[in-house]
Amino acid sequence: MAEAPRRLWDKGAPLDELVHRFSVGDDSVWDLRLVQADCIGSAAHARTLHRAGLLSDAELASLLSGLRTIAEEHRHGRFTIPPALEDCHTAIEARLVAHCGPAGERIHTGRSRNDQVATAMRLVMRSDALHWLDRLGDLLHTLLARIQRDGAQPMPGYTHLRPAMPSSVGQWLHAHAEGLLEQGRATLDLLDRLDACPLGTGAGFGVPLRLDRAFTAELLGFSRVQRSPIDVQNSRGRLERYFARVAADIGAVIERLAWDLLLFSTAEFGFFSLPESLTTGSSIMPQKRNPDVLELMRAHGARLRVRTLELDWVAGKLPSSYHRDLQLTKEPALRAADEVCTLLVVAARVVELFIVHGDRLTAAMRPELYATEEALRLVETGVPFRQAYRQVAADLSAGRAPRASAQAGQVGADELTAVAADWSAIIQQADRFRRAEQTAARALAP
Ligand code: ARG
């Protein structure tokens, strides 16, 4: 009878069950997110071993077929990570040995779970970042469409939450679009930082075999090799933190949008409202329709910042090289990726459907909002600004209202075109990372 699969490092000595469970932690859950990437990384590693003469043609073919089977089982929800096997790397190797026999026992030649997990996370973060970039684009385009529809509606601009200058629905929404654009650029920067291949660095000090690391990197669609083996381990947590940071910064843009909508949809402002389908009710107060969706958007934005803090503390206090602490960097990073995508999708729904109350907005355009403009009109006739400023202030005290102008606070069509053009440029630059993802997937092909 075949032996039951064991921990990779099991040499027969007993292990305290409590300590075992504690060390495995939630890996059997979170590592399920790494299975596809680990199969792809393993395929690239097998090809590199084959190139180095360490695997025969038949062994390589058998390993690739085994890895494809595992990836397929995982796609159909049929791959599990038994806690007894610790993590996805062990579970995949065990399944590979069951599938390929002795060839399976060669897959771990010249690698460690340390460079394996760094590689898997790098691939997962690359595809998650590309995924949120798509959702970011959806939200951005929903904002632009909304500006087309309601952008010209005048709206007071506030500083200190006190009326300041004339603005418009378009100018307000344009701000959120620009905020997202900046996060699109940050995502590109993130993708660039992730674009270095950790595989082939072993436990963190290199591998005493002639493995062609540039070849491995190319197979996985990375444009460069991460040169320092120690830095591979040091960057675990550092890159996850930056990944969560960008997700949190996207969350912060949405959080502010949600706050604005909450404020301006109160009965007191009444500028906007949510359609009933986006609100919830109260179990006791029959009249209530509550904007829970906006409050949860705000809370999710805040919680995304907490993910970065968790990563800061878990990974930030360590000396160089691998430490098991790093295992706990997976969950906050993966959660951040899921959460930011959900947030982007929900925000797009809200932006599409919130209702604009033009009557309330127009009624709020009180004359004093135009005071600065009036002063500048005087400046244009040659009056020094400080004198113009005093004159308008005196006029206001005497009850003489400044003239309103229709153009004040409007956002120009050219500015909106510029947003769309900047976004296209970002998408174009992201294209090489999408191609990289497709390249990596081909490592598994026969
Ligand atoms: N589950 C581990 C992690 O995420 C995999 C690496 C284990 N390496 C080790 N030396 N124990 O960090």
- Give dist(CA 397, CA 186) in Å, integer: 48
The CB density around residue 363, as the number of other CB atoms within 10 Å, is 11
Residue 326: CB within 6 Å of ligand 1?
yes
Residue 30: CB within 6 Å of ligand 1?
no
- Residue 404 in this model has a pLDDT that exceeds 60: yes
Distance from residue 37's CA to the centre of ligand 1 (Å): 16
Residue 114: CB within 6 Å of ligand 1?
yes
Beta-strand pair 355-356/196-197: unpaired
Distance from residue 99's CA to the centre of ligand 1 (Å): 24
Listed range (12-21, 182-191, 295-304, 347-356) with the worst mean pLDDT = 12-21
- Residue in the structure block whose two tokens are 């009965």: 267
Q: Tell which one of 89, 93, 113 to mutate to probe ligand 1, the residue whose CB is within 8 A of the most ligand atoms.
A: 113
Atom 5 (ligand 1): residue with closest C-alpha? 113
Mean pLDDT in residue range 36-52: 98
Could you report the per-residue pLDDT of 363-391, keeping only the tens digit for each?
999 999 999 999 999 999 999 999 999 99
Atom 7 (ligand 1): residue with closest C-alpha? 113
DSSP character string of 336-403: HHHHHHHHHHHHHHHHHHPEE-HHHHHHT--GGGGHHHHHHHHHHTT--HHHHHHHHHHHHHTT-PPP
What is the position in ligand 1's atom list of the atom closest to the CA of 326?
A: 12
Residue 327: CB within 6 Å of ligand 1?
yes
Burial label for 323, CB within 10 Å (0-12, 13-18, 19+), is: middle
Q: How confident is the model at residue 34 (pLDDT cuts 50, 70, 90)?
A: very high
Q: Which pLDDT score, from 0 to 100, does residue 405 have? A: 85
Distance from residue 32's CA to the centre of ligand 1 (Å): 15
Distance from residue 116's CA to the centre of ligand 1 (Å): 9
Q: Which pLDDT score, from 0 to 100, does residue 3 have? A: 60
Q: Which pLDDT score, from 0 to 100, does residue 9 have? A: 73
Is residue 42 annotated as a catalytic residue, yes or no? no
- Residue 17 in this model has a pLDDT that exceeds 80: yes
Distance from residue 210's CA to the centre of ligand 1 (Å): 24
CB 129 within 8 A of CB 184: no
Is residue 320 annotated as a catalytic residue, yes or no? no
CB 203 within 8 A of CB 110: no
Q: How confident is the model at residue 1 (pLDDT cuts 50, 70, 90)?
A: very low
Could you report the per-residue pLDDT of 309-360, keeping only the tens digit for each?
999 999 998 999 999 999 999 999 999 999 999 999 999 999 999 999 999 9
For residues 251 and 15, the model is more confident at 251
Given the residues 76, 160, 277, 397, the one annotated as active site: 160
Residue 128: CB within 6 Å of ligand 1?
no
CB 140 within 8 A of CB 177: yes
Given the residues 56, 282, 405, 424, the one annotated as active site: 282
Could you report the per-residue pLDDT of 175-229, keeping only the tens digit for each?
999 999 999 999 999 999 999 999 999 999 999 999 999 999 999 999 999 999 9
CB 137 within 8 A of CB 122: no
Per the prediction, the chain carries an average pLDDT of 96
Residue 28: CB within 6 Å of ligand 1?
no
